[in-house]
Amino acid sequence: MSIRPHPFLLFALATLVFGSAGAQEEAAQAEFVYEIDPYYTNAGYNIPLTDKPIPVIKSGSEAVIYRELIKDSVVPRYMTVEASLYPMPILGTWLKTHHRGFYDSGAIGDNFNIIESLTAGFQEPWAVSLFFGNVAKLQRPGDTRVGNNYGYTGYLFSMGEKHIKNNVMVEDHWFELEWKIKGQLDYTDKKLSWSFRGGAKFHNNIEINDVYYVALSRSNTELHSPGLDWLDNTTGDFRMHFLQQSGKLVRMEFIAGKKLPLPDKGYTPTLSAGFIWTSPQEYAGSLRSIENNTLTFVIRPSIEF
């Protein structure tokens, strides 16, 4: 049996425990950071929990960056308060609820809808998070600019309301606990972002089963690399959900994409495609509306500036 404490209570307790420490250290270079993306937009505030400034990792090697981030992540030295929003999944639920005729016009055959394919992949519309761990600024040797180049490793507590199932909002208070390593590099000739994490997600709605999960995500842009190079200018997302009670795999997502940098234009078009496989055991009660596994094809066009 899973324990279902109310997420708002846990969020309040975490704020009480750590909030005063963060407030005392605001003078130690607290900073605001953000990302804007049609599928995942977020804003965060880094608050030191000690008097040490945010360290700088000077390396052009991904392996070195990962190693340095993980090395000091056991004892949290920073807190980040973050709010995130998922615009395209929200758009999908809005169209299905308020413009059903237009939504249904995207159907091709009996088992494919282009609007669902464009907006699938996130099971919540928004989240607020508290991160405790290691934060570092990332800098290439010879480059003095840091900007929004940050890496994070540590523990994340997230919570929110609502659950998205087949582009329909379902009542739910949920929270999740995870360990993650995340970061981004943004230079004039290169962009790189990554997120590797594992954790557990709990739902107050008893018809949505609690799961453990692992998730890997990486996006790479090389403006001066040949557009058809198989590894550069690619993006990939992989995720698996396992039932907490039995360990059974109930959801798997795999989405890969190719980028075509246009340096003269100042932007990079990207086309990603993949699938989401789900088991009926992901849900219970009235939400288990099917008895067979389903496969949803996903298409994600986007533009990176």
Query: How would you write the chain as a 3-class SS string?
Result: CCCCCCHHHHHHHHHHHHHHHHHHCCCCCCEEEEECCCCCEEEEEEEECCCCCCCEEECCCHHHHHHHHHHCCCCCCEEEEEEEECHHHHHHHHHHHHCHHHHHCCECCCCCEHHHHHHCCCCCCEEEEEEEEEEEEEECCCCCCCCCCEEEEEEEEEEEEEEEECCEEEEEEEEEEEEEEEEEEECCCEEEEEEEEEEEEEECCCCECCEEEEEEEEEEEECCCCCCCCCCCEEEEEEEEEECCCCCEEEEEEEEEEECCECCCCEEEEEEEEEEEECHHHECHHHCCCCCCEEEEEEEEEEEC
Residue-wise pLDDT tens digits, 28-73:
577 888 888 888 899 999 888 888 777 888 887 888 888 888 887 7
Give every residue of the chain whose pLDDT is below 70, as ranges: 1-28, 144-147, 226-230
In the prediction, which pLDDT does 228 show?
58
* Residue found by looking up tokens 């804007």 in the block: 36
In the prediction, which pLDDT does 18 show?
41
In the prediction, which pLDDT does 146 show?
59
Residue-wise pLDDT tens digits, 150-161:
898 999 999 999
**C-beta of residue 114 within 8 angstroms of C-beta of residue 108:** yes
What single-letter amino acid sits at 269? Answer: P
In the prediction, which pLDDT does 276 show?
96
